[in-house]
Amino acid sequence: MATPLALAVARAVSAQPKKMSLAIHTNTSSAAGYRGALEGWAKAGITQVEISSAIVEAFLKTDTLQAARRILTDNGLKPVSGTVGGGPLLEPSPDHTAAFDGLKRRLEMFAALGLKKVYTTTNGTQKLTQDDYKLVVEQMRRVGDMAKQFDMMAMVEFVRASTYMSTLPTALKYTREAAHPNFGPMFDFYHFWSGNNKLEDLDLIRPGEIQHVHFQDVPDMPRELLDNNTRVIPGDGVSPLLAILKKLAEKGYAGPLSVELFAPKFRDGDPFAIATEIRRKAEAVMRAAGVL
């Protein structure tokens, strides 16, 4: 039997915040292209990256998948997630064939790059009926089945402007209904804090449920005026970053925090300089939250 001291130590260890790591999404330096972004970030000490399918496909117009893989390995970079983009994977559509053909191609591409996680978004514009969500759940399972073929985890990112899945509670509800071992929810700081969510919603998360996290801040302005171009580096805005990070850690998240920004000053800036600034500011926030 465990001694009281051993039990006390075990409880103290379990109470410690989960550690997380810093990553950057290629959307942040998209103008530099695949090679330019990754090589610049690596020089700034970044070791984990998230990859957009679009930026890889642009690279492959003039180069090979083997070369894309070498850029990762030669620079000591680990790809932690990829966005599959594409058409309507989850929402109702008269023909899902093209979207799933595109998904398969991108899963094959990402598998060759060594990825184990991919995500799609809920950027649809349809206003669904309650019955339509049955199809969404079926499509989640279908995406999960395809991801399983590649030994991957597929994820859904709720998007604040979505007409059918814009909040954390909705994403949790329907991924749970799907109940697929290769499909789960991810979390985006911008979509959460700028949208119709509240801090208490984080209590709904089950331990280990969140599969991946996008990490951003928002400026002090009406939420109605926020858009992708108003996203800022963590620490430069007014989001309750520490409270959210601590809650995610409490819920067992111990993966990458991927900084995804879209404003032209990031997108068009020097990747080394941008990554250096992101690393300095984001890691300071992570350190303050006790998750670095």
Structure confidence by residue, pLDDT tens digits, 240-249: 999 999 999 9
Give residue 6's pLDDT band: very low, low, confident or very high (50, 70, 90): very low
> How high is the mean pLDDT of the chain?
93
| Confidence check: pLDDT of 233 > 70 | yes
Give the three-state DSSP class for 92: coil
Give the strand pairing for 153-157 and 117-121.
parallel
Residues 69-85, mean pLDDT to the nearest whole number: 97
- Please give the residue that has the higher pLDDT: either 86 or 57: 57
Looking at mean pLDDT, say which of 7-16, 82-91, 259-268 comes out highest: 259-268
Question: How much is the average pLDDT of 88-104?
Answer: 90
pLDDT more than 70, % of the chain? 93
Would you call 195 helix, strand, or coil by DSSP?
coil
Count of CB atoms situated within 10 Å of the CB of 8: 11
Q: What is the pLDDT of residue 9?
A: 40
Provide the pLDDT for residue 88. Answer: 86
Q: Look at residue 30 and tell me whether its pLDDT is greater than 50.
A: yes
Q: pLDDT confidence of 4, banded at 50, 70, 90?
A: low
CATH code for residues 20-87+95-289: 3.20.20.150
d(CA 110, CA 254): 22
Contact indicator for 158, 167 with CB cutoff of 8 Å: yes
Q: What is the mean pLDDT of residues 28-48?
A: 98
Dist. CA 48–CA 33, nearest whole Å: 17
* Predicted local distance difference test score (pLDDT) of residue 169: 98
- HSE on the CB side for 196, CA within 13 Å? 12
- C-alpha separations of 203 from 88, 105, 161, 246, 248 in Å: 30, 37, 23, 12, 9
Residue among 245, 259, 242, 280 at smallest CA distance from 18? 245
pLDDT tens digits along 137-191: 999 999 999 999 999 999 999 999 999 999 999 999 999 999 999 999 999 999 9
Q: pLDDT per residue over 204-229, tens digit each? A: 999 999 999 999 999 999 999 999 99
Neighbours of 166 (CB within 10 A): 17
Residue 266: what are its φ and ψ, rounded to 5°? -85, -50
Tokens coding 109: 């591409």
CB 258 within 8 A of CB 215: yes
Write down the pLDDT at residue 8.
Answer: 46
